[in-house]
Amino acid sequence: MNRIIFCSFLRCESEGQEYQVYPGDIGKRIYNEISKKAWKLWIEKQTILINEKKLNLINQKDRKILEDEMIKFLFKSFL
């Protein structure tokens, strides 16, 4: 059964995540507020950022940069 949520990114009701896709409190917020469609848009953006900024996700500093970008993208952007 599909979970319908109000997606704070898309600003409409949409299909929610099936499970928490990111750990911790941020992950809980994503699960409750970010739709599958919006998460897919983030994954596409994430790939671009990793390549453009040459991020190495083994490096904790680079993971933090990516997490900060994710928060900005998902919760402070408007279409």
Q: What pLDDT does 48 receive?
A: 97
Q: What pLDDT does 77 receive?
A: 59
Q: What pLDDT does 65 receive?
A: 97
Q: Domain-by-domain residue ranges, the chain?
A: 4-76
Instruction: Please list the ranges in the chain whose pLDDT falls under 50.
Output: 79
Q: What pLDDT does 76 receive?
A: 85
Q: What pLDDT does 79 receive?
A: 46
| Superfamily name with CATH number, domain 4-76 | Fe(II) trafficking protein YggX (1.10.3880.10)
* Helical (H) or strand (E) element with 4: strand 4-7
Distance CA 66, CA 79 (A): 20
Q: What pLDDT does 36 receive?
A: 97
